[in-house]
Amino acid sequence: MRWWLLGVALAVLVMPSVGLAQGINTSVALAVAEDEAIFRSQLRYRRATDDPSGMGRELDALVAPQTLVYGITPKLTAFATLPILAHRRRELGDGSVTKDSAVGDFRLLGRYTFYADDYAPLSTRRVAVLAGMKFPTGGDRFGTPSFDPIVGAVGTWAGNRHEIDLDALYTVTTKRHDFEAGDAFRYDLAYRYRLWPERFEGRLLQLNAVLELNGRWTGKTRMDGSTVAASGGNILFLSPGTQFITKNFIVEASVQVPIWQSLNGPQLEDDFTAVLSVRIPFTLGLR
């Protein structure tokens, strides 16, 4: 299964369409044109080996979130994301190894841009709100059995070669089957700088440098009426990356390095997460 996913991600590199710039791990408030769509195929490799329990546990996982973005109106955009766990390998201190693959929980979001000020060429200020739902489509151990509301906000400032994006997204988890995962809060700040070209002169090629701060907080899990001590906590990543933009697609890569981890109980701590993604804009033609 994981080799099929890798093939799909590489195949979309040669598909024709038109590209748009935005953060790699951070949401943006930039509009998607009405009846236009973007398909984003991403690969995320996570490595975690720092085990405070002393048991020598290790984890490596390859997840492939597949996202379809659709411009319903000039102000309203829909996002549908299905994460596919292509490969997960757990190694315990006694030498035993478990391997898994599965589909994760489906997420549907809407983004409404209520403030937009295109104050100069290649320059804009935008603010949007987000709302949606997480659906329990994942199998055991790869998702939670509840329907969880999601709310948030995102802002973007762009001025010629510079762009700053800021988002905050909160997931309110609900209880189902005597299980309730902790609420989740993500917060991100991204800065993008156009390295090349200095000025656009008809070319539709672009190279960007991206630097992000990506924070993730989760509350403690409750199961069968009891709180799971080794669950929840806060982690903050520093994420340098790069984007290559053409008329037909965008290729981007990033490495997320934890600079602060405060986890509850003896949980595995992250070493890094490597990210590779491809975005393909196209016209969906639903109207």
Identify the pLDDT of residue 11: 31
For the chain, which residues score pLDDT lower than 70? 1-22, 140-141, 202-203, 285-287
pLDDT for 15: 29
DSSP H or E run through 4:
helix 2-11
Decide: residue 65, CB within 10 A, 0-12 exposed, 13-18 middle, 19+ buried. Answer: middle
> Residue 14: what pLDDT?
29
**What is the number of alpha carbons within 13 Å of residue 286 lying toward its C-beta?**
10
Q: How many C-alpha atoms does 274 have within 13 Å on its Cβ side? A: 5
Q: Which pLDDT value is given to residue 22?
A: 61
**What's the pLDDT score for residue 18?**
31
- Tell me the pTM: 0.87
- Unique residue bearing structure tokens 């979309």: 12
pLDDT for residue 240: 98
Q: Which two tokens mark 6?
A: 């890798």
pLDDT of the residue at 9: 34
Domains of the chain: 2-283 (2.40.160.40)
